[in-house]
Amino acid sequence: MIRRLVLVVLGLIWLGPTYLLLVNASRPADAYDPASAWVPSGDFALFQNFSTALERADLAQSLASTALYSVVSPLLGVLIGAMAGYTIVVLRLRFGFLWFMLIFGGTIFPSQMLLVPLFIGYSDAGLYDDRFGMLLLYTAINVPLAAFVLRNFYSGVAFSIFEAARMDGASTFRIFFRIYLPLSMSALAAVFILEFTFIWNDLIFGLVLTQSEGVRPVMVALNGLITDVYAGTPVPVGLAAGLMVSLPTVALFLATQRLFARGLSLGSV
């Protein structure tokens, strides 16, 4: 009984900021008062605030760009990572563990260390403020995690499956795409969800490597809008923009939570 009561109290505390966000994002733009932030407003203006936020920060273009980055880059990342895991474990690549350490070793460096080299390299290569450049960056960032999870997953798959397929005349690529890739769909989905969330919430790379409205990620646009709260943007509009931007990741996790949990457990074999 005491444990359940403690969990309920902790849950209410955890939901407190969410409640404040929903209540104040639903207020009319000119009706925000910090003294009554906990009290719901009689007027529901959430969708109007959504519309105002889209107009003020031009979030529509940034949302489209972020959707592109968050879908295409994780798909490419998990595919390349799965190929790397397949090559190292199943094809028994020579010095496979060293190759894996080379792929995964890049994740030990903080993102801040990469900003200056990336900025200089992208500027010299003509990839600065370019969608292809952002897709390339996000794909490269996603590969190590996918390679790590899929390497662990393929280590638990019987090697006799590969041998039987080879005896039947299947090529290496056909075995990968027809047998190993379908077997690892749950693990791939879990990695995709994690990488989708990372890219959707990314601020630092978008802030450094993009500038125009059609290329910048949505978090950069949202950051500009929230900064303008101190220069005239109503607080309910800024909160509504934050709520709108967070909805895709929340919806994705709610829709795929069982698949996500199962995929992570498979990838840790």
Q: Yes or no: is domain 51-267 CATH 3.40.640.10?
A: no
Angle between helices 59-85 and 218-227 (to 10 degrees): 140
Query: What's the gap between Cα 228 and its chain centre?
Result: 26
pLDDT single digits (tens) 126-163: 999 999 999 999 999 999 989 988 888 888 888 888 88
pLDDT value of residue 267: 46
Q: Model's pTM, two decimal places?
A: 0.86
Ranges of each domain in the chain: 51-267
pLDDT value of residue 11: 85
pLDDT value of residue 269: 44
- 14-18, 198-202, 228-232: lowest mean pLDDT where? 228-232
With beta carbons less than 8 A apart as the criterion, state whether 186 and 259 touch: yes
With beta carbons less than 8 A apart as the criterion, state whether 134 and 204 touch: no
